[in-house]
Amino acid sequence: MRLSRPLTALAVSAVALLALLDYRSPPATLSGVKQPGSSTASTVKSATDRATTTTIAGAADFIGADVTAIEPGKGWTFGVVQVEIGVTDGRLVGLDIVKLPPRDDTGGPGTRPTTVEISNFVAPILRLEALRSDGVDVASVSGATYTVSAFRQSLQDAMREAGL
């Protein structure tokens, strides 16, 4: 039995958003180059050209972190999400959402997430996965509305594909 409700896959290209990270261990800077109009760009190169990326389409449904400002009292459901990850020296160093559907219902104000909102949602999850890859056991998150579990499956698929 599948519990998650089916979600409409209306993919649009999201504004390119690359996490520029500052880690204790080997710092890596990613810069993204996306072709205009292409929602499936999968090329991300680091300054040292050691980063590889993989793009997967995962059916992760999740909720925006800053919902209150947009529509109090209601969840903000997205549909199919495509994520892109950057890997350097076997470590996850970047995460980008390349496909994100607009909400497909009645419209209204703020039905599409802004870059900042996407960033605020994605970045903690990336940190979480980075901690995990450093051997810290983190299974859940307190203090913000992140549907970590739902999103993690997509990310883990991408990481597996990248051989992490």
Partner 1 sequence: MTTDALTETDVVRHTEYVMGTAFTFDVCLEDQRQAEDASTALERACQWLRWVDRTFTTYDPHSYVSRLGRSDVALSDCPSEVALIVSQCERYRDVTNGWFDPWSGPGGLFDPSGLVKGWSAQRASQMLRESGFARHCVNAGGDVVVSGEGPTGAPSWGVGIVHPLVPRAFCAVVSVRDEGVATSGTGERGPHVWGRDGRPSTDLASVTVIANDLARADALATAALAMGYRGIEWLHELGVDGYAVDAHGGEWSTPGFQRRRTWPLPEIGPTATAI
3-state DSSP call for residue 95? strand
Shortest distance in whole angstroms from residue 109 CB to partner 1:
17
Opening angle at CA 30, ends 56 and 129, nearest 5: 55
The answer to the question of residue 9 lying near partner 1 (CB under 8 A) is no
Shortest distance in whole angstroms from residue 49 CB to partner 1:
25
The answer to the question of residue 162 lying near partner 1 (CB under 8 A) is no
| Closest to partner 1 by CB, 77 or 111 | 77
| Closest to partner 1 by CB, 36 or 73 | 73
Binding region for partner 1 (CB under 8 A) out of 46-54, 81-89, 91-99, 135-143? 135-143
The gap from C-alpha 141 to its chain's centroid, in whole angstroms, comes to 16
CA distances from 121 to 2, 65, 66, 139, 164 (A): 25, 6, 8, 17, 23
Spatial separation of the C-alpha atoms in residues 145 and 37, rounded to whole Å: 31
Determine phi and psi for 88, rounding to 5 degrees: -130, 130
Q: Name the site residues for partner 1 (rule: CB under 8 A).
A: 1, 3-4, 19, 22-24, 61-63, 67-68, 72-75, 77, 119-120, 123-124, 127-128, 130-131, 136-150, 153, 156
